[in-house]
Structure 1
Amino acid sequence: MRKLLTVLLISVMVLSLAACGGKQEEARKIGGTLIIGNTTEMTGDWITAFSNIASDSEVLNLITGYYTVDLTSAGEYVINKTAVKDYERIVNDDGSITYEFEINKGLKFSNGVEITAKDYVADILLWNSKFIADLGGSNTVSFRLKGHGPYSKGETKEFSGVRLLDDYKFSVTIDAAHLPYFYELPLVRYSPEFLPFWLGDGVDVADDGNGAYFTVEVTEEAFGDIFKAARENPIYVSSGPYVVEEYDVASKMVTLKINENFAGNYEGQKPSIETVILKLVQQDTMMDELRTGGVDLLYGVVAGGTIQAGHDLVEEGIGITFSAYPRSGYGKIHFVTDHGPTQFKEVRQAIAHLINRDEFIQAFARGYGSVVHGPYGEGQWFYQETRQELLSKVNLYPYSLEDAVRVLEEGGWTLDANGNPYTGEGLRHKMVDGQLMPLVIEWFGSANNEFTDLLAIRLLENPDIAAAGMKFNQTVGDFGELINWYTRTGGEQYTVPTYHMFNLATSFTPMYDLERTYTPGGSVNYNRINDEELYRLAKELVRRDGTDRDGFKKAFVDFIVRWNELLPDIPLYSNTLHDFFNEKLKDWNLTANIRLVHAILYAYIEE
Structure 2
Amino acid sequence: MIAMLTAGILLFSGSAAFAEAPALTYPDRDYGELVVGNPTRMDGKFFTGMWGNATTDIDVRTLVHAYYLVEWGYDSGFLRANPVVASAQGVFEDSKGVRIYRFQLCDDLYYSDGTEITAWDYAFSVLFQAAPEIAELGGRPMDLSYLEGYEEYISGEVPYLSGVRVTDERMIEFRVKPEALPYFFEMYRMGFLPYPIHEIAPGCKVYDDGKGVYIGNEDPEVEGKIFCTELLQATVMDPENGYLSHPTVGSGPYVLTSWDGETCTFEINPYFKGNAEGFKPTIPKLRFTLAKDEDMIEKLEADEFQLLNKVVRRDTITKGIELVSEGKGYTLTNYPRIGLSFIVFTPDRPAVQEKNVRQAIAYCMDKKALQDEYTYLYGIPVDGMLGIGQWMYGMVKGTEDYPETLPEDPTPEEEEAYDARIEEWESLSLDGVKHYELNVEKARRLLDADGWTMNENGERYAAGRDDVRCKKVQGELLTLDLTLAYPESNEMAEAMEACFVEPLKEAGIRLTLVPMTMNDLVHAYHDRDIEGIDMFYVGDDFNIEFDPQLFFLAGDPEAPAEDTLAWAHAQMSEYARQMLETVPSDALGFVQKWITLQEQLSELLPLIPVYSNVYYDFYTSDLMNYDIIRYITWGDAIVASSYYNVYQSMVDRGIDPTDTEDEFEILP
- TM-score of the superposed pair, with normalisation by structure 2: 0.81
d(CA) in 2 for partners of 1:55, 1:10 = 23
Q: Which runs of 5+ in 2 are unaligned?
A: 15-29, 218-224, 398-426, 557-564, 646-668
Show the counterpart of 1:162: 164
Residue 225 of structure 1 deviates from its aligned partner by 3.8
**CA RMSD in angstroms, aligned pairs only:** 2.7
Q: Structure 1 174/9 Cα, relative in aligned 2: closer, same or farther at 3 Å?
A: farther
> Are residues 1:563 and 2:601 paired?
yes
Residue 426 of structure 1 deviates from its aligned partner by 2.2
One of 171, 180, 183 as aligned partner of 1:181: 183
One of 522, 536, 542 as aligned partner of 1:508: 542
One of 421, 430, 437 as aligned partner of 2:471: 430
Q: Structure 1 449/271 Cα, relative in aligned 2: closer, same or farther at 3 Å?
A: farther
d(CA) in 1 for partners of 2:495, 2:566 = 26
d(CA) in 1 for partners of 2:268, 2:96 = 45
Q: Structure 1 11/32 Cα, relative in aligned 2: closer, same or farther at 3 Å?
A: same
> Are residues 1:471 and 2:510 paired?
yes
Show the counterpart of 2:174: 172
Q: Structure 1 242/6 Cα, relative in aligned 2: closer, same or farther at 3 Å?
A: farther
Specify the SS of the correspondent of 1:375: coil
Specify the SS of the correspondent of 2:204: coil
Show the counterpart of 1:334: 344
Q: Is the 8 A contact 1:110 1:261 kept in 2?
A: yes
Q: Structure 1 77/569 Cα, relative in aligned 2: closer, same or farther at 3 Å?
A: same
Deviation string 1:518-569 (CA, Å, 9 cap, x unpaired) is 24279xxxx9886322111101112112221211121011111111112232
Q: Which has the larger radius of gyration?
A: 2
d(CA) in 2 for partners of 1:72, 1:449 = 42
One of 482, 485, 491 as aligned partner of 2:524: 485
Residue 390 of structure 1 deviates from its aligned partner by 4.1
Q: Structure 1 434/130 Cα, relative in aligned 2: closer, same or farther at 3 Å?
A: farther
d(CA) in 2 for partners of 1:436, 1:52 = 39
Q: Is the 8 A contact 2:64 2:247 kept in 1?
A: no
Show the counterpart of 1:40: 40
The letter of the residue matching 1:88 is G
Q: Is the 8 A contact 1:372 1:571 kept in 2?
A: yes
Stretch moving more, 272-281 or 378-387: 378-387
Q: Which runs of 5+ in 1 are unaligned?
A: 14-29, 489-493
Deviation string 1:253-277 (CA, Å, 9 cap, x unpaired) is 1111111111112233211222121
Deviation string 1:183-215 (CA, Å, 9 cap, x unpaired) is 11211111111123223x222111122221111
d(CA) in 2 for partners of 1:196, 1:176 = 35
Residue 400 of structure 1 deviates from its aligned partner by 0.9
Residue 395 of structure 1 deviates from its aligned partner by 1.3
Q: Is the 8 A contact 1:303 1:450 kept in 2?
A: no
> Are residues 1:399 and 2:438 paired?
yes
Q: Structure 1 529/556 Cα, relative in aligned 2: closer, same or farther at 3 Å?
A: same
- The 5 Å alignment of 1:351-430 reads 351-387=361-397, 389-424=428-463, 425-430=466-471
One of 515, 533, 553 as aligned partner of 1:499: 533
Q: Give identity over the alignment, percent.
A: 29
The letter of the residue matching 1:147 is G
Specify the SS of the correspondent of 2:266: strand
- The 5 Å alignment of 1:15-414 reads 32-47=32-47, 48-73=49-74, 76-199=78-201, 201-215=202-216, 217=225, 218-221=227-230, 223-229=232-238, 230-231=242-243, 233-249=245-261, 252-387=262-397, 389-414=428-453
Deviation string 1:218-240 (CA, Å, 9 cap, x unpaired) is 44356434432225652431111
Q: Is the 8 A contact 2:36 2:288 kept in 1?
A: yes
d(CA) in 2 for partners of 1:601, 1:406 = 56
Q: Is the 8 A contact 1:129 1:154 kept in 2?
A: no
Show the counterpart of 1:24: none
Q: Structure 1 450/426 Cα, relative in aligned 2: closer, same or farther at 3 Å?
A: closer
The letter of the residue matching 1:564 is S
Residue 376 of structure 1 deviates from its aligned partner by 0.8
Deviation string 1:96-152 (CA, Å, 9 cap, x unpaired) is 311111212231111111111111000000011111122221112534222333434
Q: How many equivalent pairs are there? A: 577
d(CA) in 2 for partners of 1:115, 1:164 = 14
d(CA) in 2 for partners of 1:173, 1:59 = 31
Residue 442 of structure 1 deviates from its aligned partner by 1.6
Q: Is the 8 A contact 1:71 1:594 kept in 2?
A: no
Q: Is the 8 A contact 2:428 2:592 kept in 1?
A: no
The letter of the residue matching 2:499 is R
Deviation string 1:163-190 (CA, Å, 9 cap, x unpaired) is 1212221111222222112111211111
d(CA) in 1 for partners of 2:11, 2:73 = 18
Q: Is the 8 A contact 1:331 1:506 kept in 2?
A: yes
d(CA) in 1 for partners of 2:232, 2:512 = 41
d(CA) in 2 for partners of 1:141, 1:62 = 25
d(CA) in 1 for partners of 2:367, 2:33 = 41
Show the counterpart of 2:625: 587
d(CA) in 2 for partners of 1:289, 1:187 = 42
d(CA) in 2 for partners of 1:603, 1:331 = 30
- The 5 Å alignment of 1:434-473 reads 434-448=475-489, 450-451=491-492, 453-460=494-501, 462=502, 464-473=503-512
- TM-score of the superposed pair, with normalisation by structure 1: 0.88
d(CA) in 1 for partners of 2:117, 2:170 = 9
The letter of the residue matching 1:517 is F
Q: Structure 1 89/63 Cα, relative in aligned 2: closer, same or farther at 3 Å?
A: same
Show the counterpart of 1:553: 591
Stretch moving more, 370-379 or 358-367: 358-367
Q: Structure 1 212/528 Cα, relative in aligned 2: closer, same or farther at 3 Å?
A: farther
The letter of the residue matching 1:258 is I
The letter of the residue matching 2:233 is G
Q: Is the 8 A contact 1:84 1:104 kept in 2?
A: yes
Specify the SS of the correspondent of 2:602: helix
Q: Structure 1 533/248 Cα, relative in aligned 2: closer, same or farther at 3 Å?
A: same
Deviation string 1:51-79 (CA, Å, 9 cap, x unpaired) is 12111111011111111112344564332
Stretch moving more, 362-371 or 142-151: 142-151
